[in-house]
Chains A and B, each alone.
Chain A
Amino acid sequence: MRCAIVSQKRYVLLVLTVSAFFLCLTGRLYYLHVVNAKEALDVAEKTRQRFERISSRRGNITDARGNLMATTRTVMELGVDPEMILPSDLGQGADASGKPYVDKVPILAGLLAMNPDVLRPLLTEKYREDDPSAKVRWRKLVEKIDEPTYEKVMALNIKGVYGNRKFERVYPGDTLASHVLGYVSKEGIPQMGIEHFMDFYLRGQDGWRLSERDGRRRELAQFRSREVDPADGLNVELTIDMALQNIAESELRRVVTDFEPKGATIIITDPKTGFVLALANYPTFDPNHYWDFPIEALKNRAVTDVFEPGSTFKIVASSGAINEHLVRPTDRFDCGITSVTYKGRVLKLPAEAHHLGVLEVNQIVSESSNRGAAQLGMKLGEQRLYNYAAAFGFGTRTGLGSAMESPGTLHQVKDWDGLTITRLPMGHAINATALQVHFAMSVIANHGVLMQPQLIKRVYDADGKTLFSYDPHERRRVITEESSQLISKMLVNVVDPKGTARRAALVGYKVAGKTGTTQKLIDGKYSSTHHVASFVGYLPAEDPRLVISVIIDDAQSKGVAYGGLISAPAFHNVAMQSVQYLGIQPEGQYRNMLAWENKIQ
């Protein structure tokens, strides 16, 4: 028998080496399991644990009839991991049967509307351009594609191409009611309008999930330990009627084409409830692509921009004087005089567009006499005039919900100069928003009561259950019902064939309203070429269903851009379509009129 002879030294050395190795190993294990146990466990936990945030879906915004005005859908941000692209995906090589692989790049390029020559390097270039040593594991191909396109991309089965799902806010009407709705920025932050004001209800609450993942970073669903479901945002129903909004915006487009104004606003409300049925501005914007529009176009000028209301404000002085029983509609005033003594001082009266002579109070309103209005203001006195202006809503925010809403300017009596008492009654020395002027007229239409303007009808959940309802809210009674009826009769005369707003008249309907033409203040002086033309009216005058305002800033027209010339026809067009849409019956002889053709049996 042969025996292996191992020297003693070698044997000891081998034993020592092996022992030392195991000692090191034991030491390392001891270090990992005892000394460094906590940190090691943390690292293991972090590597294994998977915390997933589950985004909630933002609620919808609908109009008063349930039509979607803003909704949320998912889109995919598509990218590629060039490391995972296989040669077969690029059409290189052949399969086992010798059939060459199909080049998928042109097909993918077709789906993404990209040039294949641009797409190919994006798929194959594995290193960063700015740092050639750094590998690219994610390169964005397209900012967003919709779900059906993504499904087609996935059907190509290119392993390295995949998408990350994200929510996108969509406004199906594009520019429709954009200033009312506002928009949500790319970062998901609501910026203005209902999106901003009702964000608390719309945004919902994200959920989360704690689970574990495998070596390929895939979730191990069986190890889900804690889970909180997301709560989707609530839905908001507006008072806006999409069809009326469209009528207002279509008319606005016509006005813009015809007169190229700097800005314009059309508002339609229900005087009995204060519900805003349509609110349209020019310039406008598309909230789906808000970044393509100048900042100027994003603002809701119906509540942010102020102007001198001009003659539309005359309803305040005349209402106040009638309501205080200081004058009767048939009382006469000499509107031909140029100055008047007031509290011992001789005050110069404002100029008239043409000589008017002696007028009754109702003629002062229908013929829009500046001097007549000034004398009515003086009858009222400073404090009462101020009080009525404030009661009609001037000088305070309407509370529509816009963060940028302007309160306008109504100076305290102590800040008035000597001429303010003659200028304020004709709508000078005061600034107001279009919505304030509109709701001042609504007071007359609503029998003397100022309503709270409202854009939101209710908040409801996914099952349609109403959670919050916003009922009409009376702010205050401004004048008595009798006074409002008297003023209403005067305002009907404005739309008569002899009135300043005859172009606003509508066959079969009694329309009441008031025109306004204000010279714009440019470089501290009233311009004779730049005007704000307005008409605010309502119909049917006996039982008003709609209040409509048309305010056009700096219309380009031959001569003075009078409210009766520029705004009244727009009112007519909007009113005509609105009564047809709402089925508001005409009055008098037109109510029971029926037409038919001879052939009808």
Chain B
Amino acid sequence: MSTTVKVYRSGTPHALRLACFAVSILLFCVVAGGSFGLVWLRQGIAQSAQSIKDYERDLGEARRMQAHLQAKIAQEEQPEVLKRRTSATLMVPDGRQYVYVAPSQVLRTRPEVQFRPMDFGFEIAYNPEASAEAVRNAVRPN
């Protein structure tokens, strides 16, 4: 009794050829997929790096503008500038405001203003609410 082995012309068994083909396809897929994956990863890294760079640039821009603004504000807050501005908008002191005046000046320039010694210190000017009662009690305008 003889056994017949089915062979192709090349002499390679069919299953082996199929396996080789499958492995080749797999290898190709792995290589191609890996390559594409690598490219995709690198693109991702590049995009991330670029966006980080953009954020850094924006942050730098914001800091620069902040420094610019700070310098501008500082220029506007200089005593000379403030004096120029306030001189045009100074207001007459109102009734709730306490001021020191030299006696000579009161008599010379503002006869309607009277003054007399008080039994409490100048600190009241800084706390008008708390001392309002004390002022009313202590001071009786003529």
Q: Which residues of A pack against B, CB within 8 Å?
A: 57, 67-69, 71-74, 146-148, 165, 170, 172-174, 176, 219-222, 224, 242-243, 246, 507-508, 585-586, 589-601
Complex Cα distance, B122 from A393, in Å, reads 38
Q: Could you jot down 27 A-B contacts, CB within 8 Å?
A: A67-B74, A68-B71, A68-B73, A69-B74, A72-B67, A73-B64, A73-B67, A73-B68, A165-B64, A172-B74, A174-B78, A221-B52, A224-B49, A242-B78, A246-B78, A507-B104, A585-B122, A592-B117, A592-B122, A595-B98, A595-B101, A595-B115, A596-B95, A596-B141, A597-B95, A598-B114, A601-B141
Q: Is B38 an interface residue, CB under 8 A from the partner?
A: no
Q: Does chain A have a CB within 8 A of B42?
A: yes
B118, A593: Cβ atoms under 8 Å? yes
Which residues of A have CB within 8 Å of B117? Answer: 589, 592-593
Contact partner of B139 (CB less than 8 A), chosen from A74, A243, A508, A596, is A596
Given A68-B70, A595-B115, 15 new contacts (CB under 8 A): A71-B67, A71-B74, A73-B71, A74-B68, A172-B71, A173-B74, A221-B46, A222-B50, A242-B79, A243-B79, A592-B118, A593-B100, A594-B115, A596-B139, A597-B112
Is A219 touching B53 in the complex (CB atoms < 8 A)? yes
Is there contact, CB below 8 Å, between B78 and A585?
no
Contact residues in B for A592 (Cβ distance below 8 Å): 117-122
| Complex Cα–Cα for A219 and B49 (A) | 10
Contacts of A594 in B (CB 8 A): 98, 115-116, 118, 135, 139
Question: How distant is the Cα of A289 from the Cα of B2 in the complex, in angstroms?
Answer: 111
Q: Are A172 and B113 in contact (CB under 8 A)?
A: no
Q: Which of B64, B73, B121 has the most CB of A within 10 A?
A: B64
B58 at the interface (CB under 8 A from A): no
Contact A590–B100 (Cβ < 8 Å) = yes
B65 at the binding interface (Cβ < 8 Å): yes
- Report yes or no: B141 in contact with A598, Cβ–Cβ below 8 A: yes
How far is B141's CA from A599's CA once the two chains are assembled, in angstroms?
Answer: 8
Closest chain A CB from B102 CB (angstroms): 5
Give B95 Cβ to nearest chain A Cβ, in Å: 4
* Shortest Cβ distance from B99 into A: residue: A595
Residues of A contacting B113 in the complex (Cβ-Cβ under 8 angstroms): 595-597
Complex Cα gap A597–B71 (Å): 43
- Chain A nearest CB, measured from B114 CB (Å): 7
**Is B86 an interface residue, CB under 8 A from the partner?**
no
| Residue B106 interfacial (CB < 8 Å) | yes
Would you call B45 an interface residue if the criterion is a C-beta within 8 Å of the partner chain's C-beta atoms?
yes
Are B65 and A598 touching (Cβ within 8 A)? Answer: no
Chain B neighbourhood of A585, CB < 8 A: 121-122
Chain B contacts with A in 14-68, Cβ cutoff 8 A:
42, 45-46, 48-50, 52-53, 64-65, 67-68
For the complex formed, measure the closest distance between the CB of A180 and the CB atoms of chain B, giving whole angstroms: 15
Bound complex: CA A195 to CA B115 (Å): 50
* Shortest Cβ distance from B141 into A: residue: A598
Q: B52's closest neighbor in chain A, by CB?
A: A221
Q: Chain A residues with Cβ under 8 A from B52's Cβ?
A: 221
Q: Mark B89-117, 1 if CB is under 8 A from A, else 0.
A: 00000010011111110100000111111
A170-B71, A591-B121 are contacts. A507–B115 as well, Cβ < 8 Å? no
Q: Which secondary structure dominates where chain A touches chain B?
A: mixed
Chain B residue numbers with a CB within 8 Å of A222 are 42, 45-46, 48-50
B80 proximal to A (CB < 8 A) = yes
A424 to chain B, nearest CB (A): 41
Query: A68 touching B74 by the CB < 8 A rule?
Result: yes
Please give me the 4 A-B residue pairs with the lowest Cβ-Cβ distance, nearest first.
A221-B49, A246-B79, A172-B74, A68-B74
Contacting pair B95 A601 (CB below 8 A) = yes
Q: How far is the CB of B113 from chain A (nearest CB, A)?
A: 5
Residue of A nearest to B78 (CB): A173
Which residues of the other chain, A, contact B50 by a CB distance below 8 angstroms? 221-222
The docked-state distance in angstroms from the alpha carbon of A409 to that of B70 is: 44
- In the complex, which residues of chain A have a beta carbon less than 8 angstroms from the beta carbon of B49? 220-222, 224
Return A70 CB to nearest CB of chain B, in Å: 9
B4 contacts the other chain (Cβ, under 8 Å)? no
List B contacts of A586 (CB < 8 A).
Answer: 100
Shortest CB-to-CB span from A241 to chain B, Å, is 10
Give the residues in chain B near A242, CB-CB below 8 Å.
78-79
Q: Once the chains are docked, how many angstroms separate the CA of A595 from the CA of B93?
A: 12
- CA–CA, A257 and B13, complex, Å: 115
Q: How far is the CB of A183 from chain B (nearest CB, A)?
A: 15
- In the bound complex, CA of A146 to CA of B69 (Å): 11
B120 surroundings in chain A (CB, below 8 A): 592
Q: Looking across the interface, which residue of chain B has its beta carbon closest to that of A62?
A: B74
Complex: how many Å from CA A57 to CA B63?
11
What is the CA–CA distance of A596 and B115 in the complex, to the nearest angstrom? 7
Is the CB of B142 closer than 8 A to any CB of chain A?
yes
> Which of B45, B70, B114 contacts A596, CB < 8 Å?
B114
Q: A601 contacts which chain B residues (CB < 8 A)?
A: 95, 141
Closest to A242 in B: B79
Q: Is the CB of B71 within 8 A of A507?
A: no
Report whether B78 and A172 are in contact in the complex, using a CB–CB cutoff of 8 Å. yes
Q: Is the CB of A71 within 8 A of B114?
A: no
User: How far is the CB of A145 from the nearest CB of chain B, in Å?
Assistant: 12
- Return B32 CB to nearest CB of chain A, in Å: 23
Q: How far is the CB of A279 from chain B (nearest CB, A)?
A: 15
B122 (CB) vs chain A CBs: closest residue: A585
Which residues from A are CB-within-8-Å of B142? Answer: 598
Find chain B residues with CB under 8 A from A68 CB.
70-71, 73-74
Are B75 and A172 in contact (CB-based, < 8 A)? yes
Closest A residue, CB atoms, query B117: A592
**Cα–Cα distance between A242 and B82 once the two chains are bound (Å):** 12
Question: A74 and B67 in contact (CB under 8 A), knowing A508-B102, A593-B115, A597-B95?
Answer: yes
**Chain B contacts for A224, CB-based, 8 A:** 49
Scoring A219, A593, A594 by chain B CB atoms within 10 A of each residue's CB, the highest score goes to: A594
Which residues of chain A come closer than 8 Å to B118, judged between CB atoms?
Answer: 592-594
CA distance A499 to B106 in the complex (A): 27
Give bound CA distance, A147 to B95, whole Å.
48
Which B residues lie within 8 Å of A596 (CB)? Answer: 95, 98, 113-115, 139, 141
